C-alpha cells in the first residue's frame, strides 16, 4: 500500500519534467526546420566580394536610386522600374559591375511589378543571404562579384525550378542581343 502511494507520488512529480523535456525537443526540432532557401546559390554570409569600392566611388558611378537599392538594400516601388514589363531579348547585367546575371530566356511575367526570372544565367553569379527585416524571413539575392543587392528569391515561381528571382530594375542593366 505504502509502496503504491510512493510510486504515484513519483509519477506525479516526474510527469511535468517529462512534459518539459519533450516540448524542449520539439523546440529544438522547429529551430532546425527554420525556413531555408531551396536554391543552389552559394551563401553570401561573411563573404568578401571580388569587387570592393567605397560608398563614395559607388555614388560617383551610380544614380541615387541605383545606389539606394544596390548598396543600401533598398526596394523600388512595384510597377515603377524600367524592366518589369520589358520584353527584349538579351542579357541583364549587374548595374554596379557588369556581371551577367539573368537572361531574357528565363524572364516571365509574375504580376508582382518587378522583373522576375525563374533562374539566373549561372548559379555562381548570385549569392543568397537570409533577410529577416520587415518582420518576414526572406532570401536576399546579391551579385556574387560585387555584393550588389538585387532583390529576393521566392519559391512560388514557374517550372522547371519553381523559383521566382524578384529583382529591382534599378540593379540591372539590359544589353540586347545583336541581330545577325
**Site residues (vs Zn ion, CB under 5 A):** 94, 96-97, 99, 143, 145-146, 148
C-beta of 71 vs 107, nearer to Zn ion: 71
How far apart CA 67 and CA 95 sit, in angstroms, is: 10
Find the shortest distance in angstroms from Cβ 46 to Zn ion. 18
The distance from CA 80 to its chain's CA centroid, rounded to whole angstroms, is 21
Buried b (16+ CB within 10 A) or exposed e, 8-37: eeeeeeeeeeeeeeeeeeeeeeeeeeeeeb
Annotation says 94 is catalytic: no
C-beta of 94 vs 172, nearer to Zn ion: 94
94, 97, 146, 166: which is the annotated catalytic residue? 166
Q: Give the length of the chain.
A: 180
Find the shortest distance in angstroms from Cβ 169 to Zn ion. 15
Beta bridge mates, 91: 103, 175
C-beta of 138 vs 145, nearer to Zn ion: 145
Q: Which three cell numbers stand for residue 169?
A: 530594375
Find the shortest distance in angstroms from Cβ 168 to Zn ion. 13
Any idea which residues carry the catalytic annotation?
166
Amino acid at each position: 500500500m505504502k509502496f503504491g502511494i510512493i510510486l504515484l507520488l513519483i509519477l506525479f512529480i516526474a510527469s511535468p519534467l517529462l512534459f518539459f523535456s519533450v516540448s524542449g525537443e520539439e523546440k529544438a526540432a522547429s529551430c532546425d526546420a527554420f525556413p531555408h532557401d531551396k536554391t543552389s546559390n552559394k551563401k553570401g554570409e561573411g563573404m568578401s566580394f571580388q569587387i570592393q569600392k567605397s560608398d563614395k566611388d559607388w555614388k560617383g558611378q551610380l544614380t541615387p536610386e541605383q545606389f539606394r537599392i544596390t548598396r543600401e538594400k533598398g526596394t523600388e516601388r512595384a510597377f515603377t522600374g524600367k524592366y518589369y514589363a520589358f520584353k527584349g531579348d538579351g542579357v541583364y547585367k549587374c548595374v554596379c559591375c557588369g556581371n551577367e546575371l539573368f537572361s531574357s530566356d528565363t524572364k516571365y511575367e509574375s504580376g508582382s511589378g518587378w522583373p522576375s526570372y525563374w533562374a539566373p544565367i549561372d548559379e555562381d553569379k548570385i549569392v543568397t543571404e537570409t533577410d529577416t527585416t520587415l518582420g518576414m524571413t526572406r532570401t536576399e539575392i546579391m551579385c556574387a562579384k560585387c555584393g550588389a543587392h538585387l532583390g529576393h528569391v521566392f519559391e512560388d515561381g514557374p517550372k522547371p525550378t519553381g523559383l521566382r528571382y524578384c529583382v529591382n530594375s534599378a540593379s540591372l542593366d539590359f544589353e540586347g542581343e545583336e541581330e545577325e
